[in-house]
Amino acid sequence: MNVFRAKEISELPEMKHVTYLDQQIYIQHVDEQNETARIFPLNEPEHEFDVDVSLLTEHSF
């Protein structure tokens, strides 16, 4: 995923299906300068961490 799409998804009111290492995640914030995203797994909202946005995958149905 690119940084612009990650930022767009993080600002949408509806949830999108995005994964990191095959785990569905929520994007909290995107740092455009560093091209990283603050995320957490949907089943572990207390486990926040930063990842490179290129490691995120958007799934469409």
Q: Where are the domains of the chain?
A: 3-59
What is the full DSSP assignment across 1-61?
Answer: --HHHHHHHHH-SS--EEEETTEEEEEEEEETTTTEEEEEETT-TT--EEEEGGGEEEE--
Tokens describing residue 4: 């612009």
pTM: 0.92
- CATH: 2.60.40, 2.30.30, 2.40.128, 1.10.3470. Which one for 3-59? 2.30.30
Residue carrying structure tokens 């767009």? 8
Task: Output the pLDDT for position 6.
Answer: 98
User: pLDDT tens, 4-40?
Assistant: 999 999 999 999 999 999 999 999 999 999 999 999 9
20-37 as b/e, with b when 16 or more CB fall inside 10 Å? beeeebbbeebeeeeebb
